[in-house]
Structure 1
Amino acid sequence: MFDRLFYREKGLFLQSFHPATVLVYLLVLLILSLIYDHPLYLLALFLLLALLIREVDGLDAWEGFLKAGVFLMLVVMMVNPLVIRAGKTIIWHGPAVPFLGKLDISMEAVYFGAASSLRLLVIISIFCLYNLMINPDRVLNLFSGVAGKSVLVITLATRLFPTMVRDLQRIREVQQLRGVDFDTGSLWQRAKKYSGLYNVLLLSSLEGAMEIAESMQARAFGSGKRSVYSRNMIRPRDLFCLGGSLLALLAAVWGLRYGYGRYTFYPEADFLIKDGATLVVLFIVLFYLSVPLLLSEGWKHCRFLKSKI
């Protein structure tokens, strides 16, 4: 179950980008999710992320992220109307509550809570896409030349949990082959079975730590300035994606300057679509952000494009 939340190499096109390209692309998505207030723009980003996650074969992992996101979404939608009283359109007059006053719920407060919850889902989906699209070791390798020791500590820390999950699953399977049934018996009996499981996991982790230390010593770690070798190359696909990301950011900033992407919730909710320019700016931003999707489809169906990117 936990393995779905971590990066797995699947040989997909979206996993073949340079790590710097992916970081820039996801950073642009994150910036847009934070600066956009318009519900239509946030919904478009959410749908784009859904297509990207589907393209990277991560819908199962995304489901786990969405479960936590929907719970937080419901909390925000329930708490926000009770706290904010700035809306003019009252849909429910509640009783007076100590320290909170009269609980009048406005349509604008509900609307703002829904938009904020949608923004939260977009941000969660961005981090889910990061886990599925890029190998964390390749990201840390970008900074290994300037901060080698810090990168090593971060690498060991980030791989600790997924490694322990895999070891725990392997140890459990071995114990089951030996006849141990973890689902039967009383609570105390099952606790004893799991305690033996965790004892083996602890010993395995200590042995792994010793092997890492011996490997570092054999490679003369800390004896002098380290060398850096990287196989990551900038290819045409990276240039296209970087260009699309920067153009999308420029188009979004230009649109925000003229009010496209902004939305007024209080004291009265604005129109969802003021004019055609609202949709035109949204289409331009989405087009540039869809460059990785377009390249992925071309890579799968066009041999000429596949040979060029």
Structure 2
Amino acid sequence: MLEHLFYEDKGVLLQNLHSVTALGYLAVLFTLALLFSHPLYLAGIFLVSALAVVTAGAMEKWEFYLKAGLWMALLIMVINPLAFHAGKTILWRGPTLPILGNVSICLEAICYGAAMGIRLLAVLTIFCLAAAVVHPDKFLSLFSRFAYKSALVVSLATRMLPAAARDLANAREMLQMRGVDYGAGNLRERLKKYSWLLDILLLSSLEGALQIAEAMQARAFGTGPRSCYRRELKRPRDLLCFTACCFALVFSFYAKVKGYGDYNYYPQLGVLVPHPSSLILLGIILGSLALPLVLNWGWKHWPYLRSKI
């Protein structure tokens, strides 16, 4: 289960982008999710992020994030109407409670809670996408030219949890094949069985640390300047995706300046579409953000396009 939360090579275009391009795309999505408050814009960012996750083949990861995100979004939708009563459209008036005071539920608070729930789901989806498309080693290699020792430490730390989860799953399966039933027995017996897993995990971690140390010593790590390192190539797909991100960011700031990306929830709900230009800008922004997804479709189904980008 835990191994699905970490990076897995699926061979999709989003995983074959330059690290700077991939991080730029994620940064734009994250910035827009926090920049906009209009429900249509937030829903659009969430939709593009969700399609990107599906395109990256990270549905198993996204399922884990959604299970937590949906509960938190529902919690926001429940707490916000109970805590804020600044809206004019009162749907229900309740009794007076000692701490909460006059309990009343207004339409504006429900809508604001729903919008914030969508924003939360969008942010969680973007983090899920980052875990699916950004290789930890490629990300840390960006900083290895001027801080290679620190980058190595962080790289080893990021690998520790996935490796431990994989070793734990293997040890559990091995003991089950030998007849160990983790659900049988009383609490003390079950704890004893799980302690065997910790012993195996500790031994495998120590062996892995020794192997890494031997490999570093064999390569004379730290004895002088680096002799070689992996260089990422900049390809046409990086230029296309980076340009699309810049377009989306520029038009997003323009929509923000014009006020199309904002929405008044209190004291009364504003007009959802104040001007047709709002929808046009939204279409341009979402279309720019969806360009990498379109290229990914061509990457999978059009060998000629794949050879050119």
The two structures have a TM-score, normalised by structure 1, of 0.96
| Superposition pairs of residues 244-255 of structure 1, within 5 angstroms | 244-255=244-255
The answer for the alignment partner of 1:119 in structure 2 is 119
| Superposition pairs of residues 21-170 of structure 1, within 5 angstroms | 21-170=21-170
Deviation at 1:227, TM superposition (A): 4.2
The answer for the alignment partner of 2:242 in structure 1 is 242
The answer to whether the Cα contact below 8 Å between 1:73 and 1:120 also exists between their aligned partners in 2 is yes
Structure-1 separation of matches of 2:228 and 2:33: 35
Structure-1 separation of matches of 2:211 and 2:298: 45
Matched, 1:178 2:178: yes
The answer to whether the Cα contact below 8 Å between 2:91 and 2:107 also exists between their aligned partners in 1 is yes
Matched, 1:295 2:290: no
The CA RMSD measured in Å over matched residues stands at 1.4
The answer for the alignment partner of 1:266 in structure 2 is 266
Deviation at 1:65, TM superposition (A): 0.3
Deviation at 1:13, TM superposition (A): 2.1
Matched, 1:187 2:187: yes
Matched, 1:7 2:4: no
Deviation at 1:291, TM superposition (A): 1.0
The answer for the alignment partner of 2:276 in structure 1 is 276
Question: In structure 2, the residue corresponding to 1:25 is in which secondary structure?
Answer: helix
Structure-2 separation of matches of 1:17 and 1:143: 17
Structure-2 separation of matches of 1:107 and 1:22: 39
- Structure 1's unaligned 5+ residue stretches are none
The answer for the alignment partner of 2:257 in structure 1 is 257
Amino acid in structure 2 at the alignment position of 1:83: A
Matched, 1:18 2:18: yes
Deviation at 1:220, TM superposition (A): 2.5
Structure-2 separation of matches of 1:196 and 1:303: 50
Deviation at 1:81, TM superposition (A): 1.4
**Which stretch shows the higher mean deviation, 219-228 or 117-126?**
219-228
Amino acid in structure 1 at the alignment position of 2:149: K
Summarize deviations over 1:121-148 as a string: whole Å, max 9, x none.
Answer: 0000000001111211111111111111
Structure-2 separation of matches of 1:146 and 1:274: 50
Structure-2 separation of matches of 1:112 and 1:298: 39
Amino acid in structure 2 at the alignment position of 1:304: Y
**Which stretch shows the higher mean deviation, 211-220 or 10-19?**
211-220
The answer for the alignment partner of 1:213 in structure 2 is 213
Amino acid in structure 2 at the alignment position of 1:5: L
> What is the number of equivalent residue pairs in this alignment?
309
Structure-2 separation of matches of 1:283 and 1:159: 39
Amino acid in structure 2 at the alignment position of 1:149: K
Structure-1 separation of matches of 2:227 and 2:37: 46
Question: In structure 2, the residue corresponding to 1:290 is in which secondary structure?
Answer: helix
The answer to whether the Cα contact below 8 Å between 1:144 and 1:228 also exists between their aligned partners in 2 is no
Question: In structure 2, the residue corresponding to 1:92 is in which secondary structure?
Answer: strand
Structure-1 separation of matches of 2:195 and 2:301: 53
Deviation at 1:188, TM superposition (A): 2.0
1:210 to 1:107, Cα distance in 2 relative to 1, 3 A:
same
Structure-2 separation of matches of 1:213 and 1:300: 40
Summarize deviations over 1:79-111 as a string: whole Å, max 9, x none.
Answer: 111222211111111222234321222111111
- Structure 2's unaligned 5+ residue stretches are none
**Which stretch shows the higher mean deviation, 225-234 or 73-82?**
225-234
Amino acid in structure 2 at the alignment position of 1:191: L
Question: In structure 2, the residue corresponding to 1:94 is in which secondary structure?
Answer: strand
Structure-1 separation of matches of 2:129 and 2:287: 19
Structure-1 separation of matches of 2:133 and 2:289: 15
The answer to whether the Cα contact below 8 Å between 2:7 and 2:131 also exists between their aligned partners in 1 is yes
Structure-2 separation of matches of 1:36 and 1:257: 11
Amino acid in structure 1 at the alignment position of 2:37: D
